[in-house]
């Protein structure tokens, strides 16, 4: 079977294609528009069989690199593909990237579970694991087809207690309007300073909110008119994905993050979303908090590269060193 790869320039057609194959919100048009405004270019392609039937799609992010590497192409939680045709779609997309963008490599972090047939087939088709991970593969994914009672039953006893306790506090839990978003960003800056992690400038987050629209809901706990905790999601038809969150001292004292996360889960379930991804697990306090909401953990495929240029071995060797230098430079600047 011959697969044809064709660019897509119409937002409605694109998002429909993503949702047809239960794609991830990082493959939606609005996410690509945001990345295109912040140092990437974006190329969206539909993959059709020889009868013209849609069998897959991929939102390709391209970052320019110095000579002789030209560029790096990246699929965030992509591609989308009809069941059983994941490798064929991926092969067609890689060939397109090589022909059109002349990239040194295509890097992917697909929304595929580790141990599945598509992941097992990657090495035999020219892909190799990479340590240059952006999206953490170890995570928690809730099945929102389960009832609320079943979801609550899978939580730890302490988490259920804190949901009830924080729900009784004099806080209002609801979606955030555009006018209230600066309050969330102020809480996020406070959280980042306290936990010592880096964040983007405000315009990046505002672009996400505006470009994704209903696909990027933000929920907050309000003490009167003041945001004390917030949780920011991205959502496609099939998957909700936690992007950002934080709380101030008041929110922490009132355990607002427990009821807030439960609200977000309920809202996504009411939308008909099937999967709720907590976006990564590390060995930290935030991950311990996340574990209270599930009785399992999930492992996704991780990061895979396919070299598309004779320069790929040089690039693959240089990239980890370059990233370490960038992290060190950021740390020195921060200090």
Residue-level pLDDT at 326: 43
Stretch (H or E) spanning 129: strand 128-129
pLDDT in tens, 85-103: 999 999 999 999 999 999 9
pLDDT in tens, 282-298: 988 899 999 999 999 99
pLDDT in tens, 203-220: 999 999 999 999 999 999
> Which parts of 163-225 are beta strand (E)?
172-175, 218-223
Residue-level pLDDT at 324: 57
Query: At which residue do the structure tokens 């009167």 appear?
Result: 224
- Distance CA(111)–CA(7), nearest Å, equals 22
Pair 224, 174: CB distance under 8 Å: no
Handedness of CA 46, 13, 42, 19 (dihedral sign): negative
Is 112's pLDDT higher than 60?
A: yes
């Amino acid at each position: 079977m011959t697969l044809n790869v064709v660019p897509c320039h119409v937002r409605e057609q694109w998002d429909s294609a993503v949702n047809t194959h239960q794609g991830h919100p990082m493959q939606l048009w609005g996410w690509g528009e945001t990345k295109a405004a912040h140092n990437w270019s974006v190329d969206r392609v539909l993959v059709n069989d020889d009868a013209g039937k849609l069998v897959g799609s991929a939102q390709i992010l391209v970052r320019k690199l110095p000579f002789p590497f030209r560029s790096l192409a990246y699929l965030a939680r992509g591609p989308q593909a009809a069941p059983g045709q994941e490798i064929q779609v991926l092969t067609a997309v890689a060939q397109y990237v090589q022909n059109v963008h002349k990239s040194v490599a295509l890097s992917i972090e697909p929304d595929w579970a580790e141990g599945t047939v598509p992941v097992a087939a990657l090495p035999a088709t020219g892909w190799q694991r990479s340590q240059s991970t952006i999206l953490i593969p170890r995570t928690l994914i809730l099945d929102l087809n389960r009832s609320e009672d079943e979801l609550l039953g899978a939580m730890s006893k302490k988490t259920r207690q804190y949901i009830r306790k924080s729900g009784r506090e004099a806080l209002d839990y609801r979606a955030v309007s555009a006018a209230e978003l600066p309050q969330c960003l102020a809480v996020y800056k406070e959280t980042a300073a306290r936990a010592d992690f880096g964040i983007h400038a405000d315009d990046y987050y505002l672009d996400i909110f505006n470009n994704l629209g209903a696909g990027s809901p933000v929920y907050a706990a309000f003490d009167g008119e003041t945001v004390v905790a917030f949780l920011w999601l991205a959502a496609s038809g099939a998957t909700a994905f936690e992007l950002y969150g934080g709380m101030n001292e008041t929110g922490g004292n009132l355990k607002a993050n427990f009821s807030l996360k439960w609200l977000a889960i309920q809202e996504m379930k009411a939308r008909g979303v099937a999967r709720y991804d907590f976006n990564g697990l590390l060995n930290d306090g935030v991950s311990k908090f996340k574990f209270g909401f599930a009785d399992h953990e999930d492992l996704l495929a991780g990061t895979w590269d396919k070299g598309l240029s004779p320069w790929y071995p040089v690039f693959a060797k240089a990239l980890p060193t370059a990233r370490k230098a960038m992290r060190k430079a950021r740390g020195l600047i921060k200090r």
